A and B are shown apart, each in its own frame.
Chain A
Amino acid sequence: MIQYLPILVLVILATLFAGLSIFASALMSPKKPNPAKSAPYECGIIPSHEPPERFPVRFFLVAMIFVVFDIEIIFIYPYAVISKSLGTFGVVEMLVFGVTMFAAFLYLVSNGALNWGRIRRSRDGDSTYEARTSSSTIRRVSSGEKTAA
């Protein structure tokens, strides 16, 4: 039981520290509220663009390509360990295996699996938050046509 004493001490210290911090900030902080501060979800700067943009899930395809090579490695490691006993037969088999894998990779690349597409930069005047002030937090959602262009 004695082994758990340090943990108990740590729990008590952590609780004390958290409690004291809350208490101290409530007691000592200056209180000068303004509308922007009082607005819900206030966090300083008014965003100029809509953060949740659509983005292509290209990483999914890259992950699939990774899996292809991952599987290849899974087979190559054991082969490397007993390559001497497998002899020429093993080399040929691994070559066949490698060619098959490479054909699949080539197909993926030719179908644009590694094309990340045109990089889209947001232009000036594309702001979707023109109407947002410190007093109003209504979010204007763009139609999507403007950002896609």
Chain B
Amino acid sequence: MSFLIAQVASTTPLKFPPIEYSAIAPELIMVVGAIAVLLVSSLVPRHISKAVSITLGSLVALVSLADSIYLAFQSGSPGADKAVLAGAVALDKFAVFFYVLFSIVALLTLLAGRELMNLDRGRITEFVILVLLSTSGAMLMASALDLIVLFLGLEILSISLYVLVAMESDNDRGRESSIKYFMLGGFSSAIFLYGVALVYGATGSTNLGQIFTFLANNLLKSNGVLLAGMGMILVGLGFKISAVPFHFWAPDVYQGAPSPVTGFMAATAKAAGFAALLRVFYSGFIPFQSDWVPLIGVIAGFTMLVGAVLAVVQTDVKRTLAYSSINQAGFILLGLYAASARGVGASLYFLITYSVVIVGAFATVGAIEKVLGKSGVQIEDLRGLSKKAPFLAFSFVTLILAQAGAPFTTGFLAKFNVVLAAVSSKHYPVALIAMISAAIAVFFYLRMALMPFRSVSVGAESSAEGGMSLEDSQYGGDSAVMVKEEISIDAKSKLDSATVVIAAAVIVTIGLGIWAGPLISIANRAVLLF
């Protein structure tokens, strides 16, 4: 007590670590930008506040993207990779890679959400702010070198997401899935934190660099505490990336959340989880490689198989995409399982292509929902889409085929590279499971991809039980007129921002699938600090 009083009475200035603001500039831009959006939207007249907040939010994401790209060019010079903020945050090519990825996803989400979020005027500001803040948390996760900072990022990311999922006020399913996500997310955060505590107990530090040094230089007499801590961290992050057996929340939440939010969640939250997983296990726990690598292999195998098999029996498009994203998570884990630089590069390439594809795919689903005028699209509802909305049908099919790994899309090289990395690390059984699951997955991908080209009349009976109302059957006689009207609606709404997002995703997916060299070399160069 007297020590405390003496401490208080003394005026000796505390020593602060030097802070390099430029290293965490993308996070800062996101946070400051979010507050600026908050301020400006509350000061401008109400009728323009929606347009102002969306425009300003997109601008913030754009500035963050520009700064991330600037950092990426900076990090090309030797010695640019370093730990900053007293070793708590890394500024390396890996972190910068994710800065760029998260900025792009935030920008796409904001543009898609402008059209596709069913929000009243005041709420759209909150949507923008939460997306920006959530992205800043994801960036912090990707660059954290300290487990506590990592947890901070995880919480910033997750808490914003819980709210985003329940954003639409007339969407009961969204609220239900928000509660589910919140409960399971809370559990996983707690488990993660307990793991951090155990790792701290075993190694005496929460800093990944110091954990690595300790583990490399000391032989632990009994490593139970450390292994339990590692396992719990794996479980906590496994929830975020929806790896089997921690995947149960994913289908419900993906289905219930508004489509742009689902795309954001599937891209950002998953990529952030993988960034953290790669960073923690490669930077910190690599001396215990022989303990965690087999575990990752088992999880990867089960994730790929369960995701592919359960997707086959789904009837809802978003639910199918959710299982497909579980399947994809297994492939990304495969790169981690390879435990080589090649594997990390393959995982990162998979992540960036998958993020673009999934944001585009869910934006497309949102746009299809809008065209069909209902929330929740069954696979049967896609019948005749190629006539009703040719652009949407084309984009949907492209993005689905990219997920299936069709050649001339980014998805092909992504899958090929991770499997190749696993094979070159001599992990044949899991590589085999990967190929089998990819074959199973092709079935449901093709089922979804072919549905827009089927004619409505053939499936009129089967889609009647899928919720066709009396009106539909009444107007069934003059359906030609209906189709014509809907084409004109589609043509009119051609140039909204959601269309831009979808088109960008399609162009990137096909363009970088054919001209693949640059992106692969970027992903391969995005190595960790240590």
Contact = CB atoms under 8 A, between A and B. Distances in A.
A109 B43 CA distance: 10
A23 interface: no
A100 B35 CA distance: 7
B8 A103 contact: no
B219 to A, nearest CB: 41
A104 interface: yes
Contact of A87 (B13, B39, B41): B13
Contacts of B8: 81-82
A111 B42 CA distance: 7
Contacts of B38: 103-104, 106-107
B10 interface: yes
A85 interface: yes
Nearest to A83: B11
A85 B14 contact: yes
B76 interface: no
A89 B42 contact: no
Contact of A85 (B12, B43, B122): B12
B16 interface: yes
A102 to B, nearest CB: 9
A110 interface: yes
A103 B39 contact: yes
Given A100-B35, A103-B35, A110 B12 contact: no
A106 B120 CA distance: 19
A46 interface: no
B-side interface mostly: helix
A130 to B, nearest CB: 39
A46 B525 CA distance: 83
B169 to A, nearest CB: 14
Contacts of B122: 111
* Interface bin, chain B: 10 to 19
Contacts of A111: 42, 122
Given A106-B42, A110-B42, A111-B42, A86 B35 contact: no
A84 interface: yes
Interface string B1-15: 000000110111110
A-side interface mostly: helix
Interface in B276-309: none
Contacts of A107: 38-39, 41-42, 125
Nearest to B39: A103
Contacts of B12: 85
Nearest to B121: A111
Nearest to A109: B42
A110 B43 contact: yes
Contacts of A99: 35
Interface in A102-129: 103-104, 106-107, 109-111
Interface in B1-53: 7-8, 10-14, 16, 35, 38-39, 41-43
A85 B13 contact: yes
A109 B41 CA distance: 12
A128 B38 CA distance: 46
B31 to A, nearest CB: 9
A87 B11 CA distance: 9
A100 B129 CA distance: 13
B183 to A, nearest CB: 22
A56 to B, nearest CB: 17
B77 to A, nearest CB: 30
B42 A86 contact: no
Nearest to A102: B39
Given A89-B16, A111-B122, A106 B11 contact: no
Interface string B94-130: 0000000000000000000000000000100100000
Contact of A106 (B14, B39, B125): B39
Contacts of B13: 85-87
Contacts of A81: 8
B44 to A, nearest CB: 9
A128 B294 CA distance: 74
A59 to B, nearest CB: 20
B45 to A, nearest CB: 10
Given A81-B8, A111-B122, A86 B39 contact: no
Contacts of B16: 89
A86 B122 CA distance: 39
Interface in A71-101: 81-82, 84-87, 89, 99-100
A60 B498 CA distance: 36
A106 B42 CA distance: 7
B30 to A, nearest CB: 13
A89 B39 CA distance: 24
A27 B271 CA distance: 82
11 contacts: A82-B8, A85-B14, A103-B35, A104-B38, A106-B43, A107-B38, A107-B39, A107-B41, A109-B42, A110-B41, A111-B42
Interface of A: 81-82, 84-87, 89, 99-100, 103-104, 106-107, 109-111
7 smallest A-B Cβ distances: which pairs? A110-B42, A84-B11, A107-B42, A103-B39, A87-B13, A107-B38, A103-B35
Interface of B: 7-8, 10-14, 16, 35, 38-39, 41-43, 122, 125
Given A85-B12, A103-B35, A110-B41, 19 more contacts: A81-B8, A82-B7, A84-B11, A85-B10, A85-B11, A99-B35, A103-B38, A103-B39, A103-B42, A104-B38, A106-B43, A107-B41, A107-B42, A107-B125, A109-B42, A110-B42, A110-B43, A111-B42, A111-B122
